[in-house]
Amino acid sequence: MENRRVVVTGIGAVSPLGNDAKSTWESMKAGRSGISLIESMDTSEYSVKIGGEVRGFDHTRYFSNPKDARRMDRYAHLSIAAAQMALAESGLIEGEVDRDRIGVMLGSGIGGLGTLEANHTALLKRSPSRVSPFTIPMMISNIASGVFSMEHGFGGPNMAIVTACATANHSIGEAWRMIKFGDADAFVAGGAEAAILPMGLAGFGNMRALSIRNDDPTAASRPFDSGRDGFVMGEGAGVVVVEEMEYAKKRGATILAELTGYGLSADAYHLTSPHPEGLGAARCMDMALKHAGRNPEDVQYVNAHGTSTPQGDICETKAIKKTFGNWAKEGLVVSSTKSMTGHLLGAAGGVEILACINAIRDGVIPPTINLENQDPECDLDYCANTAREVEITAALSNSFGFGGHNASLLVEKYESKFG
């Protein structure tokens, strides 16, 4: 089988930093925080009162039928909105295309938690008859992917991956694999999450995974800083359109970047904690480089998983040093955009691949904000507090999830010196 190259032609995003990809990226470059006191629910009885909420967003404009929007959970609203934006930028369906060769891979780590909460309350406080007949399709994690394929008549492979916080990267990576294998010519792929809800906040909060820096929300997410005390939960969606290169060129698409490598692995270690030496994460990054045929020194930027948890940031630092060796300190720049967005869980990788692609395009690495006292065990260059101009030809995006799920994506400047 020929080596089919895969390129990115569209990006869509909804995040705490903006309701589209452009505003999200501009906020990242400016080092703005999207974290604030939660407004969507009463947090008076919760230890955690902060989050990265999507605000002022009208999802109805992305649905041709308003009835469809009412029958979907918020996570699906965000997912489909980002997917519509990515599809519009790509111009994929502006001409004649074989829609049976276009796939959809829109995942979610948690799915329709809001729908589950609301209908469980109706069941307990009212009666079984008050549970909506749409409860099941609204809460399952595959429905955004299914509905988007129905909306556009895409008859190619259609799946929804659920790997916690690695969901979006796995979705994009598996789309890459299917295109390379010849099962599709293009994919709409990414992830979405909307879990800033009573169950989400209580669940993560009670396991002491979340920051309780409630009196200073914008400074709460502080990856690699010695004062970090947990991640800040965010919500949103990030989606890309990926295509086989010749297919994209033939239709005259604007190519934003080339997706050259994808790595995946398991920690096989612990329910929620990463391997203390970062072994699974290192294997994952190694695989992405191997698939791309690249050496460590070919990569200038790593968008770290960097959640701002005490253990996770150290483990990822160890993993980066295992994979990149001397280059980790000699030439690599690392940053965590979660310092600004919070942790978007299953949507994280979809928004962070946006950061990598735009960093390559603009020659700007977005900062890790709130990095005031760097943890001695986190001893790399994390682009502290201010964006930096760097010529970038290749960038790696990491996403690691509960259950030991790891996924890394390598994107490169299209037709760069490596191409």
pLDDT for 1: 44
Catalytic position from the list 59, 77, 291, 305: 305
Whether 270 sits among the annotated catalytic residues: the reply is no
Is 38 in a helix, a strand, or coil? coil
pTM of the model: 0.96
The sign of the dihedral angle between the CA atoms of 229, 192, 33, 362 is positive
Whether 120 sits among the annotated catalytic residues: the reply is no
Q: Where are the alpha helices (DSSP H) in 252-347?
A: 279-292, 310-324, 327-330, 338-341
pLDDT for 65: 85
If you search the block for the tokens 């948690």, which residue do you land on?
Answer: 110
DSSP assigned state of 129:
G
- Bridge partners (DSSP) listed for residue 406: 265, 400
If you search the block for the tokens 């997917």, which residue do you land on?
Answer: 83
pLDDT for 281: 97
Determine the Cα angle at 164 with ends 161 and 165, to 5°: 110
Q: What is the pLDDT along the chain (419 residues), one digit of tens a residue?
A: 458 999 999 999 999 999 999 999 999 999 999 999 999 999 999 999 999 999 999 999 999 888 888 999 999 999 999 999 999 999 999 988 999 999 999 999 999 999 999 999 999 999 999 999 999 999 999 999 999 999 999 999 999 999 999 999 999 999 999 999 999 999 999 999 999 999 999 999 999 999 999 999 999 999 999 999 999 999 999 999 999 999 999 999 999 999 999 999 999 999 888 899 999 999 999 999 999 999 999 999 999 999 999 999 999 999 999 999 999 999 999 999 999 999 999 999 999 999 999 999 999 999 999 999 999 999 999 999 999 999 999 999 999 999 999 999 999 999 844 44
The CATH 3.40.47.10 domain(s) of the chain lie at: 6-250, 263-412
In the chain, the amino acid numbered 4 is R
Sequence-distant (≥ 6) Cβ neighbours of residue 137 within 8 angstroms: 71, 143
What are the tokens at 41?
Answer: 């629910």
Catalytic position from the list 165, 284, 356, 378: 165
N residues, the chain = 419
Contact at 8 Å (CB) between 165 and 399?
yes
- Does the domain formed by 6-250 have CATH 3.40.47.10? yes
E-only strand ranges, 95-201? 102-107, 158-159, 186-193
Catalytic position from the list 77, 170, 275, 343: 343
The sign of the dihedral angle between the CA atoms of 118, 120, 121, 127 is positive
In the chain, the amino acid numbered 346 is G
Whether 305 sits among the annotated catalytic residues: the reply is yes
Contact at 8 Å (CB) between 236 and 75?
no
pLDDT for 2: 59
Radius of gyration of the chain (CA): 20
CATH class for the region spanning 263-412: alpha beta
Q: Where are the alpha helices (DSSP H) in 157-278?
A: 167-181, 198-206, 245-250
How far is it, in rounded angstroms, from Cα 54 to Cα 14?
Answer: 7
How far is it, in rounded angstroms, from Cα 84 to Cα 99?
Answer: 16
**If residue 124 lies in a helix (H) or strand (E), which one and from where to where?**
helix 113-125
Helix, strand, coil percentages (3-state) for the chain, rounded to 5, are 40, 20, 40
Sequence-distant (≥ 6) Cβ neighbours of residue 288 within 8 angstroms: 261, 262, 263, 396, 408, 409, 410
